[in-house]
């Protein structure tokens, strides 16, 4: 959907299909006389089932924005609703519970526990929540099959490859049936083959299971798997692209063109 104009809206006016609604999100660091404004008033809406990429040059504010929307950090100012819940007004304990029950995370460095098996790592969010064991087991089998890691269930992180670790991380993010999954440079530590495989699977999960995903990446190839790409520049939204009916190659070229305007690095071919 189009970016929001800055005007007052109530929760009731927001579409039931809107998973994330952010208005006038600002973030500053520092104190008197030395304040750095990283986000300068972001307005953004993400609809159910979207796969949104966030791009921008280093320092544009993309990771800061992801951390705030994902409840890892707090905005200095602004309103953020996820599935109708106003996270900008939550106390720390309520926010931690919301994060555990409603959100999924895929990080560049996997964040797996070495003492747990692949299956135990994937089921960890469920063990902290209220999902029944039978349902959790069924969801594990489904997700592990989709991600191609069912045969790794009893292995430990040190026994599997980087690509398999990231797929385990992705499965862990999905096991709790979250309202939204946040991914921070999920392919940053992977070789090109593993990266393409993971992104293709994420796009497939997004399309077939309707999982809403927001991914920060510097890589135009990764962004070409998204349905929409939002570009940040100096703490503001510069522009956005929608894939629509375009081929991934055509969308990739459009992303490269915007990246060139922003002065980002690009790669030569898909």
How much of the chain exceeds pLDDT 90, in percent?
Answer: 75
The span from the first CA to the last CA of the chain, in angstroms, equals 27
Is the model's pLDDT at 9 over the cut of 60? no
pTM across the whole model: 0.87
Euclidean distance between CA atoms 26 and 37, whole angstroms: 8
| Phi and psi based region of residue 255 (left: phi greater than 0; alpha: psi -120 to 50; beta: remaining) | alpha
Q: For residue 220, give both structure tokens.
A: 């135009």
Q: Please say whether the beta carbons of 241 and 224 come within 8 A.
A: no
pLDDT tens per residue, range 28-70: 998 877 889 999 999 999 999 999 999 998 889 999 999 999 9
Q: Please say whether the beta carbons of 119 and 153 come within 8 A.
A: yes
pLDDT tens per residue, range 186-216: 998 899 999 999 999 999 999 988 999 999 9
pLDDT band at 1 (very low <50, low <70, confident <90, very high): very low
Which of 4 and 126 is assigned the larger pLDDT?
126
pLDDT tens per residue, range 131-152: 788 889 999 999 999 999 999 9
Name the strand (E) or helix (H) holding 84.
none
Q: What is the DSSP string of 90-110?
A: --HHHHHHHHHHHEEEEETT-
Euclidean distance between CA atoms 202 and 226, whole angstroms: 9
């Amino acid at each position: 959907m189009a970016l929001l104009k800055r005007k007052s809206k109530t929760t009731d006016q927001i579409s039931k299909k809107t998973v994330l609604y952010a208005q006038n999100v600002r973030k500053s660091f520092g104190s008197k006389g030395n304040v750095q404004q990283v986000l300068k008033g972001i307005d953004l809406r993400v609809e159910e089932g979207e796969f949104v990429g966030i791009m921008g040059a280093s320092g544009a504010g993309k990771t800061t924005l992801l951390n705030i929307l994902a409840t890892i950090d707090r905005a200095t100012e602004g309103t953020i609703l996820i599935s109708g819940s106003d996270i900008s007004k939550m106390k720390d304990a309520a926010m931690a519970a919301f994060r555990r029950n409603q959100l999924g995370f895929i990080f560049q460095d996997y964040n797996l526990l070495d003492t747990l098996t692949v299956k135990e790592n994937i089921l960890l969010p469920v063990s902290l929540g209220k999902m029944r064991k039978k349902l959790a087991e069924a969801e594990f089998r489904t997700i592990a099959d989709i991600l191609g890691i069912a045969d790794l269930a009893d292995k430990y992180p040190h026994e599997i490859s980087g690509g398999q670790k990231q797929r385990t991380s992705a499965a862990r993010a999905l096991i709790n049936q979250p309202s939204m999954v946040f991914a921070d440079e999920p392919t940053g530590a992977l070789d090109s083959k593993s990266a393409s495989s993971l992104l293709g699977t994420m796009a497939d999960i997004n399309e077939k299971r309707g999982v809403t995903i927001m991914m920060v990446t510097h890589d135009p190839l990764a962004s070409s798997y998204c349905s929409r790409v939002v570009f940040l520049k100096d703490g503001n939204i510069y522009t956005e692209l929608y894939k629509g009916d375009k081929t991934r190659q055509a969308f990739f070229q459009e992303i490269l063109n915007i990246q060139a305007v922003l002065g980002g690095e690009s790669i030569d071919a898909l």
